[in-house]
C-alpha cells in the first residue's frame, strides 16, 4: 500500500517524469503483479525511470535499460537485443561445489547458484567450455553478469 500511495503522490501535478527506486522490494507475488501493471499503465503517459536490482522487474517493465557498476554506465539499450546477442553463448552445468571452484579458474563463469540443493554454474563462451555443459536459454540476468564481468561490451547508445 505504501508503494501505491507513493505513486499516487508522485502523480499529483501531472509530472512528465517519475523515478522509482526498488519499487517491488518486499512485495508478495500478487502485489508485485499489481504494481507492475500500475507502473506499465503510468509509463504509457509519463517517462518512468526504474532503479532496481531485481532483474525480472527490468525484463518485465523496461523497453530500455542501463547497466551501471561502480558509478559507470557500462551498457545501454533494449533488453531483448542484448539477450539475443548472447543466445547460444551461455552454458550450464550441474556440478559439485569443489568442481565449481575449480571451473571458476578455467572458464568464463557468469554465475553460480544453488537450485534445489544442486550447484548450477553458468558460463559464457562461443563454444561449450568443457564436457557436460549444455547450452542454456540466455536471459537478462546473464546479460547483467556478462557485462559486469567484462565479457559483454557494447558501444553506448548515442543521444539524439
Residue 78 annotated to the active site = no
pLDDT at 13: 75
Answer whether residue 39 is part of any domain. Answer: yes
pLDDT profile of the chain (160 residues), mean per 10: 66 81 84 85 86 88 91 93 95 92 91 91 94 96 94 55
Range of the domain at 118: 85-149
- Determine how β-strand 72-77 pairs with β-strand 17-21: unpaired
pLDDT score, position 154: 52
pLDDT of residue 91: 97
Single out the residue of 111, 119, 102 nearest to residue 147, CA to CA: 111
- Is 72 within the bounds of a domain? no
Q: Are residues 56 and 15 in the same domain?
A: yes
Q: Are residues 58 and 89 in the same domain?
A: no
pLDDT, residue 22, reads 85
Q: Do 105 and 136 lie in a common domain?
A: yes
Long-range contacts formed by 23-29: CB under 8 A, 24+ apart: 23/50, 23/52, 23/57, 24/52, 24/54, 24/57, 25/52, 25/54, 27/3
Q: pLDDT for 72-83, tens place per residue?
A: 999 999 999 999
**Do residues 90 and 58 share a domain?**
no
pLDDT digits (tens, 9 = 90+) for 81-100: 999 999 999 999 999 888 88
Catalytic residue among 22, 31, 85, 99: 22
Count of structural domains, the chain: 2
What pLDDT does 117 receive?
86
Residue 106 domain-assigned? Answer: yes
Q: Which three three-digit cell numbers place residue 20?
A: 522509482
Cell 503483479 maps to which residue?
33
DSSP 67-128: EEETTEEEEEE-HHHHHHHTTT-EEEEEE-HHHHHHHHTTS-EEEEEEETTEEEEEEE-SS-
Amino acid at each position: 500500500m505504501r508503494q501505491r500511495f507513493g505513486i499516487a503522490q508522485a502523480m499529483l501535478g501531472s509530472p512528465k517524469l517519475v523515478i522509482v527506486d526498488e519499487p517491488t522490494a518486499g512485495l508478495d507475488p500478487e502485489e508485485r503483479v499489481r504494481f507492475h501493471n500500475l507502473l506499465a499503465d503510468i509509463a504509457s503517459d509519463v517517462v518512468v525511470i526504474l532503479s532496481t536490482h531485481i532483474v525480472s522487474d527490468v525484463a518485465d517493465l523496461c523497453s530500455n535499460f542501463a547497466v551501471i557498476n561502480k558509478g559507470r554506465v557500462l551498457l545501454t539499450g533494449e533488453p531483448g537485443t542484448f539477450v539475443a546477442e548472447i543466445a547460444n553463448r551461455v552454458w550450464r552445468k550441474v556440478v559439485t561445489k569443489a568442481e565449481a571452484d575449480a571451473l571458476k579458474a578455467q572458464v568464463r563463469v557468469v554465475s553460480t547458484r544453488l537450485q534445489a540443493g544442486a550447484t548450477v554454474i553458468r558460463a559464457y563462451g562461443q563454444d561449450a567450455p568443457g564436457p557436460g555443459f549444455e547450452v542454456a536459454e540466455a536471459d537478462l540476468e546473464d546479460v547483467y553478469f556478462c557485462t559486469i564481468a567484462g565479457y559483454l561490451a557494447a558501444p553506448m547508445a548515442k543521444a539524439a
